[in-house]
A and B are shown apart, each in its own frame.
Chain A
């Protein structure tokens, strides 16, 4: 009798599992209620993240999604734009340049820039980081 092939332990994580992992990370890092961590919630404006919280979120995501057979390491600037925006070719007079938009989209495919792109005001960039963008980030990275 043929034996059923065993399930691989390295199967990609399912979306609901990723969502609950991200929710757990945000609840622990920001002290928010799980009910408030909805996909559209903005990390800064809705969940109250301050600058050190971004590093905390990054470290916690790494820990949460690292498995015995696969480390989950996030490089600086991979999840959030960090100091990239101090480059004058990417930002001019407080607005992201064409080149800046190309770089942002290329480096951060997990973020939806469609609303931001209308005015490109750097001060509003943090508004683009939502719970959904973190979920997308983890999903893409686990698939890569």
Chain B
């Protein structure tokens, strides 16, 4: 299994907003543990899905040259369950970004194919750190280990590969 918690990017306004979707499927092993006989998408993985959406948005702002690390979940609420067959939508916006990091916020929505309506089920506020600019001054390896093949695959599948830097690993 790959650590990919979004399936496709459906909207992208560079520097401002990214929207991504995830289809929840019974083929996902983890749902059978969470919980046996009653599969529910874990809230922690929805937060990860939001983080991947917002992280790509923040990374794209600097052409994926900065290493963008989730540094803080300032707030996260998820008020309803998501079950297999339903679809999740993460809508993330940048509140503020500078050389040290970015603050983002947005919503988590759920769609059930039986009625096709999107319902807001959660809200998230998240901070990302540009770790090469971290306050502690610790040096990190040059290779950009954050935006690896998985992220490139999502962007390529979403027709957004034009936003990938030609040489994402170098400065």
Contacts and interface: CB of A to CB of B under 8 A. Distances in A.
Nearest to A82: B135
Interface in B97-154: 98-101, 103, 127, 129, 134-137
A54 B75 CA distance: 16
Given A28-B74, A29-B74, A59-B103, A51 B135 contact: yes
Contacts of A53: 72
A53 B136 CA distance: 13
Give the interface residue-count category, chain B.
10 to 19
B135 A56 contact: no
B71 interface: yes
B56 to A, nearest CB: 19
B72 A52 contact: yes
A56 B103 contact: yes
Give the interface residue-count category, chain A.
10 to 19
Contact of B100 (A55, A60, A86): A55
Contacts of A82: 135
Interface of A: 28-29, 51-56, 59-60, 62-63, 76, 82-83, 86
Interface of B: 71-72, 74-75, 95-96, 98-101, 103, 127, 129, 134-137
24 contacts: A28-B74, A28-B75, A51-B135, A52-B72, A52-B101, A52-B127, A52-B129, A53-B72, A54-B135, A55-B100, A55-B101, A55-B127, A55-B129, A55-B135, A56-B103, A56-B127, A59-B95, A59-B96, A59-B103, A62-B96, A63-B95, A63-B96, A83-B135, A86-B137
